[in-house]
Amino acid sequence: MIKLANRVSNLSVAATIAMKRKANELAAKGVDVVDFGIGEPDFPTPEFIKMAADRAMAKNYTKYTNTGGIPELRNAVADKYHREYGANFDAKREVVITCGGKQALYNVMFALFDRGDEVILPNPYWVTFPEQIKLSGASMVELHTCEENGFSLSAGDVEKLITPRTKGIILNFPNNPTGAVIPKRELQKIIEMARKRDFYVIFDECYEKFVYNGSSISGAPFGKENVILVGSCSKTYSMTGWRIGWAAGPAEVIQAMENLQSQSTSNPNSIAQWAAVEALTCNQSFVQAMIDEYRRRRDVVVDGLNRVPGIKCALPEGAFYAFPNVSGCFNSSIRDSNEFINYLLEEAGVVTISGLEFGRDGYLRLSYATSMERINEGLKRVQKLFG
């Protein structure tokens, strides 16, 4: 019998994948499935970004690059943070390019956390965070956020969980799965508190541009010795398959991340890096057009869900997810979120992700990264099933 290492035996497999498999099986049987499970923008990568990749290939930029990325891309990331947040990162020492935001998060956790360390993680959380914390050997300390506060959190909430073993906190705003954003003053306070109490703030802002109510964290004290920013081209530029992300933070942490990367993946794809330079340095107006469309969809989704008896959906301020409370629909045969999403799939052909995957029963996640036509069709089916 094959005996796998404990670290992989204990790993959870993303439920999104299991759900996709089920949906595919139904579609193969001829069922018209409406997919609200998707975690990526439904727009293609813009043409001029693809053309930059063509040019990179024509110029034979097809060999190893520096492990931490080409200087042009590191500069583009540092410039972006200077422009948008007023932060001053040294592109050479304080920025590293990674194979997507996910690898940046993995590397930063492996660079900072050891067995015995505690890492504060707000719940609901993106499915990958608990697994990466577990792989690093640290323990997760959950910070319960609530619907009444829009799933956001305050410095006071964090303070209650700090112990001498606290080594870090993972903040993800705009949030997957809730769409919550964090007020700038709370973020400032948390960063300040982390500095005083000697722990790190890992700030995952892969959905940074998907903000609908004009809230901004510009001017937050990024670039300080205890903050690591993680970003990505995946969502903002519809480049999920290209696998380009980054981290910006203290030189020692960034160097450690680069060392880890040098012994695992080496540099991110050379051609994709050049495409990312184009994405970050070009005119950004097309991003705004995408955000405007997502805002319209968000409003339709939230309004449609709130018309269903038993469902209550707060207005998400960012990302492209709604996280409705569906516990009002529970009964003797639908007893939790898993049973709810299975019922929805089997009876109405609508794919959603159970709140339990994000650590929270009574909720589910709907992605509105799908066309208005499919959104309306999906909502109609949910309304019919429960109305």
> Is residue 45 part of the contact set for ligand PLP (CB under 6 A)?
no
The continuous run of DSSP H or E covering 278 comes out as: helix 270-281
Looking at 52-60, 159-167, 232-240, 352-360, which segment touches ligand PLP (CB under 6 A)?
232-240
**CA 121, 251, 68, 92 torsion: positive or negative?**
positive
> Which residue in 122, 245, 250, 268 binds ligand PLP (CB under 6 A)?
245
Q: For the CB of residue 3, give the shortest distance to ligand PLP in the complex, in Å.
A: 30
8-37: which residues touch ligand PLP (CB under 6 A)?
none
> Is residue 172 part of the contact set for ligand PLP (CB under 6 A)?
yes
* Of 126 and 222, CB closest to ligand PLP: 126
Q: What is the C-alpha separation between 3 and 311, in angstroms, rounded? A: 45
* Of 348 and 364, CB closest to ligand PLP: 364
Q: Which residue is nearest to ligand PLP (CB)?
A: 100
* Of 318 and 324, CB closest to ligand PLP: 318
> Is residue 39 part of the contact set for ligand PLP (CB under 6 A)?
yes
**CA 178, 184, 189, 194 torsion: positive or negative?**
positive
> Is residue 204 part of the contact set for ligand PLP (CB under 6 A)?
yes
Q: For the CB of residue 319, give the shortest distance to ligand PLP in the complex, in Å.
A: 8
Q: For the CB of residue 208, give the shortest distance to ligand PLP in the complex, in Å.
A: 11
Cis-peptide, bond into residue 174, ω within 30° of zero? yes
> Using H for helix, E for strand and C for coil, what is the string for 335-382?
CCHHHHHHHHHHHHCEECEEHHHHCCCCEEEEECCCCHHHHHHHHHHH
> Which residue in 16, 66, 240, 327 binds ligand PLP (CB under 6 A)?
240
Are 196 and 145 in contact, with CB atoms under 8 Å apart? no
The continuous run of DSSP H or E covering 261 comes out as: helix 251-262
Are 365 and 38 in contact, with CB atoms under 8 Å apart? no
Q: For the CB of residue 67, give the shortest distance to ligand PLP in the complex, in Å.
A: 18
Locus of tokens 């339709």: 300
* Of 89 and 126, CB closest to ligand PLP: 126
The closest of 221, 231, 133 to 173, measured between CA atoms, is 231
Q: For the CB of residue 387, give the shortest distance to ligand PLP in the complex, in Å.
A: 31
* Of 100 and 316, CB closest to ligand PLP: 100
88-147: which residues touch ligand PLP (CB under 6 A)?
100-102, 126
Site residue total, ligand PLP (CB under 6 A): 13
Q: Where does residue 386 rank: exposed (0-12), middle (13-18), buried (19+ CB within 10 A)?
A: middle
Q: For the CB of residue 59, give the shortest distance to ligand PLP in the complex, in Å.
A: 26
* Of 89 and 320, CB closest to ligand PLP: 320
> Which residue in 232, 238, 261, 352 binds ligand PLP (CB under 6 A)?
232
Instruction: Please name every residue paired with 123 in a beta bridge, in sequence order, or none if there are none.
Output: 144
> Is residue 206 part of the contact set for ligand PLP (CB under 6 A)?
yes
Furthest-apart CA pair in the chain: how many Å?
Answer: 64
Give the CA-trace dihedral at 375, 380, 385, 387, to 10 degrees: 120
Are 253 and 202 in contact, with CB atoms under 8 Å apart? no
Residues within the interface to ligand PLP (CB under 6 A): 39, 100-102, 126, 172, 176, 204, 206, 232, 234, 240, 245
